[in-house]
Structure 1
Amino acid sequence: MNNSTLPAPPPSSAHPARVYNAWLGGKDNYPVDQEAAELAARANPTIVPSVQANRAFLGRAVRHLAAAGIRQFLDIGTGIPAAENTHEVAQRAAPDSRVVYVDNDPIVLTHARALLVSGPEGQTDYVEADARDVDTILDSAARTLDLDQPVGLMLVAILQYIKDAEDPWDVTARLLNRLAPGSHLVLSHPAADVTAPEVAESMRIYNQRAASHASATPRTHHEVQRFCDGLEILEPGVVTLTRWRPGPSDTPNDTLPMWCAVARKP
């Protein structure tokens, strides 16, 4: 595997963005990430199709928001760029869309600045910040986004890295609190109550190999729905990935252990 774009020496623990990149078949990961990705996927064979379905859900959600008139997106937990990134989907539908990407890994942001290039009518920006650091994220995003106008808040496969003790529900609420009415939350999250034994074992394997701050927590349908408290949850509600407004050729697969939803701030 060619990792020439990554700095040396290799890290001693896996990082979520690089493990996700390995699951997507990318090259921007280290042996420790490849090991975590392979062992977790062996314990839970739905991981790789879930990652692919999660990317497809992101695309459908962004297209829906663009069709509804949203022209600003705040994507927290960007990950290493892959196909069909938020700004690509948004600007294909609405070329004047503006997107701010946020991640806490400088490697991710190095890739983002190089690869996530806006079209001429739109704009992209990048913020290095932890998802828990709400004020830094929003103050920095305000350089590019008008927070007095609706924003699509993308929390796609990121909240599992915020422990219960750190109150990810409060983090989400504080992010939404500063966004204008008409903003939307786009959310996906590993499920603790779909193929539960396999999910638990794959998370255990991943957490053993990840840095303590990057350990992951799957959550139940009820716990995921709490992220939408005070919001208007769009149909079909909090559902598995392939159930959220699938296209005509999409095949529903309820064994994929991730919940997702799109909800509007009234």
Structure 2
Amino acid sequence: MIDAMADQGWMMAGSEDWMRTGAPDGRPIPALRSDVAHSARIYDFFLGGKDNFPADREAAAEIAEVWPSLPVSMRANRQFMRRVVHHLAAEHDVRQFLDLGTGLPTEPNLHQVAQAVHPDARVVYVDNDPLVLVHARALLTSTPEGRTSYVDADLHDARAIVASSQVRQILDLEQPVAVSLFAILQFVTDEDAARAIIRELMAPLASGSLLALSTVTADSNPKEVTEGLAVYAARGIPERARNRAEVAALLTSAGLEVLDPGVQLVHRWHPDGESAALPDEHVQMHGAVARKP
């Protein structure tokens, strides 16, 4: 399978050596399941990437039949990430970021946005998809002044993630940290589990730390989202759509203060000219930023 990926130009330079030697911590990289659609690779396909397999493209085509605005919504979410990270770095002077559910590298990556504002910014990426791990070297580029690291871990083990050696070596938890959960919590369908993840991520962090998130909603386009999520579920990828009040409750239940402009469709959160022009029905992600008192 790895040789087939290399033949098609899907392996980044040097990653064949990494596949032989294992992950950065010496552990073997888990086997890739190219025959089963994966949410990160479907996302990559809709963003125009090449890190996907026929099963992912077949699933994407089936989803797009009933959810034709999904690619637009996904691109709007990516633009939201860029605006949020720039805002946190420029307006809140944040220099430390913990990004969970990182997904496949898509430029600009989060550290590139943050380090464009603060060259000494430090970023730790977290994911548990084998293909993301293969490509993690693309996430480990950094300015000479800054640092980046990658943690192969499950989002549900939030407490262990914050306690991991990579996080503790790169981030100073006595200073504010910006945690990001972009387009990942929709895959946590149990609300108690989603709230626990946020609580456990934020509890060890310093006062003034921030949480940025985006997650799927049906508020703006119920028909497409409902039908699209049914296709995802049939492909073994269950998701939960949340309304605005449910997204706000995820944040406030952890004792966080939701910052202006509150929970918004992602293209309405501090929009630029491109995002402001998008019709609401084409965007099915709510986003928000909240602060730990």
Name the TM-score, length of structure 2 as normaliser.
0.85
Q: Which residue pairs with 1:241 in the alignment?
A: 266
Deviation at 1:61, TM superposition (A): 0.5
Q: Return the alpha-carbon distance in structure 2 between the equivalents of residues 171 and 10 of structure 1.
A: 26
Instruction: Give the fraction of aligned pairs with identical amino acids, expressed as a percent.
Output: 47
Q: Which residue pairs with 1:157 in the alignment?
A: 183
Deviation at 1:41, TM superposition (A): 1.8
Alpha-carbon contact 2:32-2:131 (below 8 Å) kept = no
Distance 1:110-1:97 versus aligned 2 partners, 3 A rule: same
Q: Which residue pairs with 2:292 in the alignment?
A: 265
Return the match for 1:23 from 22, 36, 46.
46
1:50 and 2:73 are equivalent in the alignment: yes
Q: Which residue pairs with 1:227 in the alignment?
A: 250
Runs of 4+ in 1 over 6 A off after TM superposition: 6-9
Secondary structure of the corresponding residue to residue 219 of structure 2 = coil
Q: Which residue pairs with 2:99 in the alignment?
A: 75
Deviation at 1:249, TM superposition (A): 4.8
Deviation at 1:129, TM superposition (A): 0.6
Give the counterpart letter for 2:70 in structure 1.
Answer: I
Aligned residues: 263
Alpha-carbon contact 1:100-1:144 (below 8 Å) kept = yes
Q: Return the alpha-carbon distance in structure 1 between the equivalents of residues 159 and 107 of structure 2.
A: 29
Give the counterpart letter for 2:234 in structure 1.
Answer: Q
Q: Can you list the C-alpha shifts for 1:109-135, whole angstroms capped at 9, x where unaligned?
A: 221224541111100000001111012
Q: Return the alpha-carbon distance in structure 1 between the equivalents of residues 54 and 274 of structure 2.
A: 36
Q: Can you list the C-alpha shifts for 1:39-82, whole angstroms capped at 9, x where unaligned?
A: 11221111101111101111111011101111000000000000
Give the counterpart letter for 1:257 in structure 2.
Answer: Q
Return the match for 1:113 from 137, 150, 175.
137
Q: Can you list the C-alpha shifts for 1:145-191, whole angstroms capped at 9, x where unaligned?
A: 11111011000000111121662012111111111111111110000
Alpha-carbon contact 1:241-1:258 (below 8 Å) kept = yes
Secondary structure of the corresponding residue to residue 174 of structure 2 = coil
Higher relative contact order (CA 8 A, sep 6+): 1
Q: Return the alpha-carbon distance in structure 2 between the equivalents of residues 142 and 159 of structure 1.
A: 24
Distance 1:237-1:166 versus aligned 2 partners, 3 A rule: closer
Secondary structure of the corresponding residue to residue 199 of structure 2 = helix
| Structure 1 gap segments, 5+ residues each | none
Q: Which residue pairs with 1:93 in the alignment?
A: 117
Secondary structure of the corresponding residue to residue 248 of structure 2 = helix
Which range moves more in the overlay, 114-123 or 42-51? 114-123
| Structure 2 gap segments, 5+ residues each | 13-18, 20-30
Q: Which residue pairs with 2:27 in the alignment?
A: none
Q: Return the alpha-carbon distance in structure 2 between the equivalents of residues 79 and 61 of structure 1.
A: 17
Name the TM-score, length of structure 1 as normaliser.
0.93
Alpha-carbon contact 2:98-2:124 (below 8 Å) kept = yes
Q: Which residue pairs with 2:212 in the alignment?
A: 186
Alpha-carbon contact 1:103-1:127 (below 8 Å) kept = yes
- Mapping for residues 126-165 of structure 1, pairs under 5 Å: 126-140=150-164, 141-164=167-190
Give the counterpart letter for 1:120 in structure 2.
Answer: P
RMSD: 1.9
Which range moves more in the overlay, 72-81 or 222-231? 222-231
Give the counterpart letter for 1:179 in structure 2.
Answer: L
Q: Return the alpha-carbon distance in structure 2 between the equivalents of residues 79 and 218 of structure 1.
A: 20
